């Protein structure tokens, strides 16, 4: 899959942008706060219908347009599915429009306009659910490191978004599960306040178990796949010195207790010790029911549901050592990168399309060895869009033609003069270490 | 500064409390009423006070009625061994419009929804169980809404009634009449396949 044209109106830094995008690599450079990340965010939004951070839609609209009193914004892109493999090869047009709600109650209490968002695929209006999987992207940002170092909730969210992009049923199950969980937790709180018969609490259990079990099984299947893919990528990032495992640690771990803290074991044979749990739907459901039944006194005391996939976690082990706790910065970075590269392979395996890669100022964080590997992958990829403040770090790294764009105050211009610097003249000498720099291996 | 008479602002405030009506619509309605002929305004006021004075909740089915038991519950021609359980009085009207249903009703007063502070004991579920035990009921039809809360409520009532009645049924779910298969969402279509019938 690749984008052939992108049109942006009143989105973040951009008042207006019309851009034809070539295949291969496009590098967007410019100073801070000029619109580099906004450019990637526009594409990310078109693919996933969500913002990068926790911004509301109104905050995405260009602030000049907001003051003009007629908030209107639009993202439009044309995408061309790959020539091989895909059955549906016609180009697709994806469009997202925000406009002011025309109804009389269209303004909220603070006077700000309420926005209506509509999604259109090839000019036909679609629901958010039907949007899933239309445009596959993988986003690399420096904050990916937090997937390794951060709390379990970030890893769960990451996995949820990833699976939702390839499986609509997962998205629906997640939606219902979240709602049932909220109802059940509120039910527990009301029981705490007023007392009363506890048996009514279990009226939520059937739906919680049905949808929760689906989440557990899908998460397990996807993590098993990611684990295999990451095991192939990781040695190339680390010179084959270390072995990475990505493990799913379900809260409903049938048969064995959850190992919240893994022992520090070093040794080559660790992979035999840590299996992905092989779960069976019937067993998970039975275990889930049992946990809900047995946990009732504690749940009533604490006022929350204590068992279920909303308390799952993922474990990233390098040579058997838990990266979340014991990893060095360098190891954590390689782990995060391996995870994202595995995600890219997974999307390809699941959809038959190479996802579009979006990299937001990622290379500056990497050392020479890993940077060279990543650039090699990008160089060979169908379409990549990356941003940087410093073009020199890409000097002579690419073998295929690269399109360089310079962005200033929301205006983008082709920068052909710099394009030759980026592409490696195969006759010239290999890179000297001081050209690439970066931090040492962890 | 405040030149609006208190009797006018009071009505505006009262209107603002209604669902779907904001301060602007409330003042528009109020000034419309001010210009209305006297007898029309009086008739509206009478209708409003009758609404509260002359209506009661039927003690059998808990629908809104002018007397208890209500006309439906008192109707000898209807099948009293058949109860249709609905969430709100408006649902009764919807089913009555079909002219297909000849049994009686039971209005729960909502669905179990702890987020809104509604637990099973806030609904007329215990009353339904008592009614089923007391009367000779052959079938209870659960006609709560096909959303998360409605489904959970139906499942809960089914469990409560199971020991006391012969038959508990749930409204069928599936494709709308005049609909297009192509545009049906996956969940609805899945349910329609599950609930298919021999022809």
Residue pLDDT, tens place only, B141-197: 999 999 999 999 999 999 999 888 879 999 988 888 887 888 888 778 888 898 888
Nearest CB to B155: which of A169, A196, A203?
A: A203
pLDDT of residue A211: 94
A112 band by pLDDT with thresholds 50, 70 and 90: low
Distance CA A35, CA A11 (A): 10
For A79, half-sphere exposure in the C-beta direction (CA atoms, 13 angstrom radius) is 27
* Interface touch A187/B114, C-beta < 8 Å: yes
Q: Are A97 and A117 in contact (CB under 8 A)?
A: yes
User: Which of A107, A130, A173, A200 should one mutate to test binding to chain B, selecting the residue with the greatest count of B CBs within 10 A?
Assistant: A200
Å between A363 CA and nearest CA of chain B: 42
Strand duo A72-80 + B168-170: pairing: unpaired
Q: Which chain A residues touch B112 with a CB distance below 8 Å? A: 200, 203
Is 60 exceeded by the pLDDT of residue A358?
yes
Identify all chain A residues contacting B157, using CB atoms and an 8 Å cutoff. Answer: none
Is B146 an 8 Å CB contact of chain A? no
* pLDDT at residue A436 in the model: 41
HSE (CB half, 13 Å, CA atoms) of B5?
5
Average pLDDT over every residue of A141-149: 91
More confident call, A267 vs A413: A413
All CATH 1.10.8.420 domain ranges of chain B, comma separated, are 6-53
Q: Which of A105, A127, A207 comes nearest B152 by C-beta?
A: A207
* Three-point CA angle A141, A74, A381, nearest 5°: 40
Cross-chain residue pair B115–A104, CB shorter than 8 Å: no
CA distance A104 to chain B (A): 9
User: Phi and psi (nearest 5°) for A405?
Assistant: -120, 145
pLDDT confidence tier of residue A68, bands split at 50, 70 and 90 = low
From first CA to last CA, the distance across chain A in angstroms is 35
Are the beta carbons of A104 and B24 separated by less than 8 Å? Answer: yes
User: Is the Cα torsion angle B146, B147, B148, B152 positive or negative in sign?
Assistant: negative
Between A184 and A362, where is the model more confident? A184
**B6-53 has which CATH code?**
1.10.8.420
Cβ(A235)–Cβ(A242) under 8 Å? yes
B77-170 fold: Dna Topoisomerase Vi A Subunit; Chain: A, domain 2 (3.40.1360)
Nearest-CA residue of chain B relative to A204?
B152
Per the CB < 8 A criterion, the answer to whether A231 and B150 are in contact is no
pLDDT of residue A274: 57
Q: List the single residue in B with minimal CA-CA distance to A168.
A: B186
Pairing of strands A321-322, A14-20: unpaired
Dist CA A186 CA A202 (whole Å) = 13
Q: Rounded mean pLDDT of A96-125?
A: 71
Most confident option among A270-279, A431-440, B86-95: B86-95
**Could you give the CA distance from residue B196 to residue B199 in angstroms, rounded to a whole number?**
9
Burial B125-155 (b: 16+ CB within 10 A, else e): bebbbebbeeeebeebbbbbbeebbbbbbbb
At A178, the pLDDT band (50, 70, 90 cuts) reads very high
Question: Would you state the structure tokens that stand for residue B192, as one six-digit string?
Answer: 């329609």
Cis bond before residue A194 (omega within 30° of 0): no
Q: In what order do the strands lie in the sheet with B168-170?
A: B104-107, B82-86, B139-142, B168-170
Work out whether strand B168-170 and strand B139-142 pair parallel, antiparallel, or are unpaired: parallel
Contact B186 A104 (CB under 8 A): no
- ipTM comes to 0.72
Interchain contact, B152 vs A204, CB within 8 Å: yes
Residue A325 tokens read as: 């706790």
pLDDT at A86 over 70: no
Q: What is the CA radius of gyration of chain A?
A: 24
- pLDDT digit string, tens, across residues B17-36: 998 888 899 999 999 999 99
Residues of A in contact with B185 (CB under 8 A): 127, 129
Residue labelled with tokens 């249903």: B101
Start and end residues for every CATH 3.40.1360.10 domain found in chain B: 77-170
Contact call for B148 and A172, based on CB within 8 A: no
Average pLDDT, chain A: 82
Nearest to B117 among A172, A184, A190 (CB): A190
Q: Which residue of A has its CA nearest to B153?
A: A203
Query: Which pLDDT score, from 0 to 100, does residue B46 have?
Result: 92
Contacts of A196 in chain B (CB under 8 A): 119, 121
Strand partners, A414: A405
Q: CB distance from B149 to chain A under 8 Å?
A: yes
**Which whole number is the average pLDDT over A93-115?**
66
Torsion sign across C-alpha atoms A412, A415, A418, A424: positive
The reply to whether residue B119 touches residue A129, judged by beta carbons under 8 angstroms, is no
Mutate to test the interface with A, among B152, B153, B188 (most CBs of A within 10 A): B152
- Confidence tier at A69 by pLDDT (50, 70, 90): low
Domains with residue ranges and CATH for chain A = 2-136+354-436 (3.40.50.300), 144-162+198-334 (1.20.1050.90)
Total residue length of chain A: 442
The answer to whether residue A198 neighbours chain B at the CB level (below 8 Å) is: no
Instruction: Determine the Cα–Cα distance for residues A383 and A386; give it in Å rounded to an integer.
Output: 10
Whether pLDDT at A433 is above 50: no
Angle between helix axes A168-194 and B186-194 (nearest 10 degrees) is 80
Residues A386-399, mean pLDDT to the nearest whole number: 83
A&B contacts, CB < 8 Å: 51
SS3 state of residue A347: helix
The C-alpha of B71 sits at a distance from chain A's nearest C-alpha, in angstroms, of: 33
């Amino acid at each position: 899959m690749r984008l052939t044209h992108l049109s942006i109106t009143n989105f973040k830094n951009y008042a207006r942008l019309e851009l034809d995008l070539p295949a291969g690599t496009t590098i967007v450079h410019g100073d801070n706060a000029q619109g580099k990340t906004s450019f990637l965010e526009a594409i990310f939004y078109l693919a996933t219908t969500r913002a990068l951070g926790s911004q509301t839609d109104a905050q995405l609209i260009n602030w000049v347009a907001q003051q003009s009193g007629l908030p209107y914004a639009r993202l439009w892109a044309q995408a061309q599915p790959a020539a091989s493999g895909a059955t549906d090869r016609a180009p697709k047009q994806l469009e997202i429009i925000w406009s002011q709600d025309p109804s009389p109650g269209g303004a909220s209490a603070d006077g700000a306009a309420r926005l209506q968002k509509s999604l259109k695929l090839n000019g036909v209006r679609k629901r958010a659910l039907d949007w899933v999987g239309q445009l596959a992207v993988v986003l690399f940002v420096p904050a990916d490191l937090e997937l390794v170092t951060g709390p379990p909730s970030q890893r769960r969210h990451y996995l949820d978004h990833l699976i939702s992009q390839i499986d609509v049923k997962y998205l629906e199950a997640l939606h219902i599960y979240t709602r049932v969980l909220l109802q059940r937790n509120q039910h527990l709180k009301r029981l705490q306040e007023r007392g009363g018969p506890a048996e009514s609490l279990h009226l939520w259990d059937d739906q919680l178990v049905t949808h929760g079990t689906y989440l557990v099984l899908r998460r397990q299947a996807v993590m098993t796949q990611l684990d295999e893919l990451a095991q192939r990528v990781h040695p190339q990032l680390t010179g084959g010195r270390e072995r990475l495992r990505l493990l799913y640690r379900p809260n409903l771990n049938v048969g064995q207790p959850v190992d919240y803290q893994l022992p520090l074991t070093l040794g080559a044979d660790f992979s035999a010790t840590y299996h992905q749990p092989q779960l069976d739907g019937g067993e998970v459901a039975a275990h889930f029911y049992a946990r809900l039944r047995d946990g009732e006194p504690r749940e009533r005391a604490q006022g929350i549901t204590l068992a279920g996939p909303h308390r799952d976690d993922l474990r990233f082990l390098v040579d058997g050592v838990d990266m979340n706790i014991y990893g060095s910065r360098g190891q954590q970075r390689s782990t995060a990168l391996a995870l994202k590269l595995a995600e890219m392979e997974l999307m390809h395996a699941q959809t038959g399309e190479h996802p579009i890669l979006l990299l937001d100022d990622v290379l500056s964080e990497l050392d020479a060895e890993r940077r060279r590997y990543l650039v090699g992958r990008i160089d060979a990829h169908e379409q990549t869009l990356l941003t940087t403040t410093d073009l020199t770090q890409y000097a002579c790294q690419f073998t295929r033609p690269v399109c360089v764009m310079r962005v200033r105050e929301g205006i983008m211009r082709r920068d052909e003069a710099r394009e030759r610097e980026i592409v490696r003249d195969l006759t010239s000498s290999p890179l000297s270490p001081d050209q690439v720099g970066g931090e040492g291996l962890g | 500064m405040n030149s609006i008479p208190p009797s006018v602002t009071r009505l505006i405030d009262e209107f603002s409390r209604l669902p779907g009506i904001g301060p602007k619509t409330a003042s528009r309605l109020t000034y419309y009423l001010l210009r209305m002929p006297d007898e029309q305004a009086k008739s509206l006021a009478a209708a409003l006070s009758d609404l509260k004075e002359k209506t009661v909740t039927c003690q059998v089915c808990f629908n809104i009625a002018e007397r208890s038991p209500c006309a439906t519950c008192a109707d000898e021609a209807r099948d009293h061994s058949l109860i249709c359980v609905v969430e709100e009085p408006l649902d009764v009207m919807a089913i009555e419009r079909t002219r297909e249903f000849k049994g009686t009703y039971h209005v729960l007063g909502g669905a179990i929804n702890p987020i809104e502070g509604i637990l099973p004991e806030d609904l007329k579920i215990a009353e339904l169980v008592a009614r089923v035990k007391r009367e000779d009921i052959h079938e209870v039809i659960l006609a709560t809404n096909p959303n998360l809360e409605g489904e959970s409520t139906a499942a809960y009532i089914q469990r409560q009634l199971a020991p006391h009645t012969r038959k508990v049924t749930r409204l069928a779910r599936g494709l709308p009449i005049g609909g297009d298969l192509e545009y049906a969402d996956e969940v609805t279509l899945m349910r329609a396949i599950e609930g298919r019938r021999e022809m």
